[in-house]
Chains A and B, each alone.
Chain A
Amino acid sequence: MRSTCIWEGLKLSSNQCINWQGNLACLKDEGLVIKSRHVVEGKHVFGPDSDYTTLAISGLALLSEECDVKQIKIDSNIDEFPLQACGYLIDTSADWNISCDSESACISISKSEDLTWQVDGEEFDPELYIKIQDAWAMELNAVSQGAFVSEQSYRSGAPSRMNFISQQLGDIRIWPPREMIGDQRPHEAAPLTQAGTIESWTTLSAGGAPSEFSLRAPLLGGICTVYVRMDDGPCGVFLVADDETNVPVIDNRVNFAVRRIYAQDGLIRYGLKALFS
């Protein structure tokens, strides 16, 4: 069964392959395939902060530019909560199906059979890849010992953290959300445009990073954070996505994509990270 809505009269044509949010995406008549750009020995593998869930959110973001995607069904490799936080309804009877390739960092989103696509990627240091995956596994079992973001806080803030849901007070757009009182109480507003300009940045050495990043920061040479003024007005601080090694530049533009942030107490936390435009 072929899709009846996608790609018809669209700016992106079928079988067009693009770099999308740090991933590789291929648009087909029936849907799309999205893969990690990282490759080890010919096989697509996850980058330092990506997984099936981040690929799914990225693919859905691209698909949503072309047609209305609200309800989806997913397989068990995908964490449904971040998708819900991004506004998607998980429904086992939905037309759109997201399936994960168990052999590689690749997913298919379609209304029919699973889609495939062959594409080259960027070589990723195999030793680093294994170390990072091991670090994630250890991190997942870590228990917080001091200040930390509780699961409750993480979940309640997820729509803003993953989808830029904002607030409005008069002419002012507000993000991250605030819980003001009286006549300062804002109302919920549409998501911010996912673009902004770097106003400052730093790379924190492994030793200076929060404990949540203590296992991966040494492997990645520290962690890079940018202070961004969003096009809609508010400012925010964001980690830089993937293993980006380019140095940020003040006044340069950034976009955003959902990636893993850290894992703790058995829960992987996701959020928007900055991608250099």
Chain B
Amino acid sequence: MIIIPPTGGSLLNLVDRELVEPCSSGGVMVDVAVIGAGQTKFGNHALGLKGMWSESAENAFASVDGDFDPSMVDEAFIGSIAFGGGQIGNTAALLTEHTGMDNIPVRRVENACASSGFAFRDAWMAIKSGQADIVVAGGIEKMNDLTPERKRYWLGVSGDTEWERLAGLTFPGTYALMARRHFHEYGSIHDDLVNISVKNHMHGLDNEYAHLRKDVSFDKAQNGFMVADPLTLYDCCPTSDGASTVILAADHVAKSLCEDPVWVLGSGAGSDNLALHDRPSITQLVSTQRAAISAYDQAGITANDIDLAEVHDCFTIAELMATEDLGFAQRGEGGLFAREGRGRRNEGDVTINASGGLKSKGHPLGATGTGQVVEVFKQLRGEVESSRQVRDASIALTHNVGGSGATCAVHVFGRDLN
């Protein structure tokens, strides 16, 4: 049980910065770059696990500036919860055998919705440690090949099964509790969440990989079907199929394979009590704060330096809280931040969820984290559709949360190494 009382007023205030130790390897070992990244469209797929992974990996291989031979890959980490698709054990071996990465060490990484955020971190660490030069991090989830009844069994599996599920909670309910408490403590209102929903749908409208490419009006989002009071359908991300693949390389290899790599400037991760009731506050995520502090310190930046952020908006309240936990807004002012439109593409301080986020782009659980990296890779290289390109972006962030915040991975990327 954590007994630190919540306090207010600073950017990252529940976690004591002194308690967060920067990664010991930061800056002293090899530098790591992303040299390729690709994904499937997120949504309802006719393809199964193998087909989606193959499509995603092929897109990633093709994105490398030069010819890329997958047999060069030393190791692979693939995030998945194994929601659907029928393959639970040894998923990574099955997938990599279909994409030319034969006989290499592979494993499935599971950290709920942050599975591939952590797969990416594991891949980064494998290179940082000197054990590998080229590593694939990816993620995959098949969510829509289950009957509605089977799908229901998977709702909320990453919360505290014994104490939250028996209280009727799945994640819409968990985040609804956070939202109502945030409203109560800080005076944020549901319209703030509506603003986030409208923004993310607007951002995702031109994203060819997005699940829900539709313009959603404020009025429509405001009056959506109530899923978990106060969260409506327009506050909740969809359940999507999808896969994403990222290729990481050590600096000495990256430069020979890729003319225009995107550098990993910082990798941070954190965890927290699984159950909401064991946390000192339900209006902020300690795991995000820890991960952000660590990643920022490694990168030598602050939140103010970030041009675009792919933030884990499984529910709109999650984005609102993330803007505070990541330091874009003061504690309690995430609602105001949304109200003022400060996360809109090319309008505010920082573009939040240029891809459309989980709300519009979709949320194939295990594929989401590396899917965020795909977006950042393309944005920083100026390769997305011109209508949704973030101008002059040089530093980007990805924020991938597991469940209601028990785990979180934050990564900072740069156009340049320094």
Q: Which residues of B contact A227 (CB under 8 A)?
A: 177, 181, 276-277, 282
- Cα A250 to Cα B283 with chains together (Å): 15
Query: Within the complex, which residue of B153, B229, B277 is in contact with A202, where a contact is CB–CB below 8 Å?
Result: B229
Instruction: Report how many residues on chain B are interfacial, defined by Cβ distance under 8 Å.
Output: 40
Q: Which residues of B contact A126 (CB under 8 A)?
A: none
Contact indicator per residue, chain B 270-309, by CB within 8 Å of chain A (1) or not (0): 0000011110001000000000000000000000000000
What residue of chain B has the Cβ atom nearest to residue A149's Cβ? Answer: B162
Q: Max chain A CB contacts within 10 Å: which of B1, B162, B164?
A: B1
- Nearest chain B CB to A103 CB, angstrom units: 32
- B257 close to chain A: CB less than 8 A: no
**With A157-B162, A205-B228, A238-B167 known to touch, is A147 a contact of B157 (CB < 8 Å)?**
yes
- B168 close to chain A: CB less than 8 A: yes
B166 touches A149 (CB 8 A): yes
Interface segment out of the listed A8-16, A78-86, A210-218: A210-218
A199 touches B181 (CB 8 A): yes
Q: Can you show 19 pairs from A to B with CB atoms below 8 A apart?
A: A145-B149, A146-B154, A169-B1, A199-B282, A200-B181, A200-B184, A202-B177, A204-B172, A204-B173, A207-B227, A208-B172, A210-B168, A211-B155, A223-B168, A236-B277, A239-B167, A250-B180, A250-B181, A250-B184
Chain B interface residues (CB < 8 Å from chain A):
1, 3, 149-150, 152-157, 161-170, 172-173, 176-178, 180-181, 184, 225-231, 275-278, 282
- Nearest chain B CB to A172 CB, angstrom units: 6
- Cα A205 to Cα B277 with chains together (Å): 22
- Cα A208 to Cα B226 with chains together (Å): 10
- A235 close to chain B: CB less than 8 A: yes
Q: Which residues of A contact B153 (CB under 8 A)?
A: 144-148, 211
Chain A: interface residue count, which band? 35 or more
B184 touches A202 (CB 8 A): no
Q: Which residues of A contact B167 (CB under 8 A)?
A: 225, 236-239
**With A144-B153, A210-B156 known to touch, is A201 a contact of B177 (CB < 8 Å)?**
yes
Q: Which residues of B contact A48 (CB under 8 A)?
A: none
**With A204-B176, A250-B180 known to touch, is A176 a contact of B168 (CB < 8 Å)?**
no
**8 closest Cβ pairs, A-B complex:** A146-B153, A202-B176, A147-B157, A211-B152, A237-B167, A235-B277, A200-B181, A200-B177
Query: Within the complex, which residue of A148, A153, A225 is in contact with B168, where a contact is CB–CB below 8 Å?
Result: A225
- Cα A149 to Cα B169 with chains together (Å): 13
Query: Within the complex, which residue of A149, A174, A208 is in contact with B161, where a contact is CB–CB below 8 Å?
Result: A149
What residue of chain B has the Cβ atom nearest to residue A274's Cβ? Answer: B167
Q: Which residues of B contact A203 (CB under 8 A)?
A: 226, 228-229
- Nearest chain B CB to A260 CB, angstrom units: 11
Query: Within the complex, which residue of B149, B165, B226 is in contact with A147, where a contact is CB–CB below 8 Å?
Result: B165
A210 touches B155 (CB 8 A): yes
B169 touches A210 (CB 8 A): yes
Residues of chain A in range 155-175 having any CB-CB distance to chain B below 8 Å: 157, 161, 169, 172, 174
Q: Which residues of A contact B276 (CB under 8 A)?
A: 227, 235, 237
What residue of chain B has the Cβ atom nearest to residue A211's Cβ? Answer: B152
What residue of chain B has the Cβ atom nearest to residue A229's Cβ? Answer: B277
A201 touches B150 (CB 8 A): no
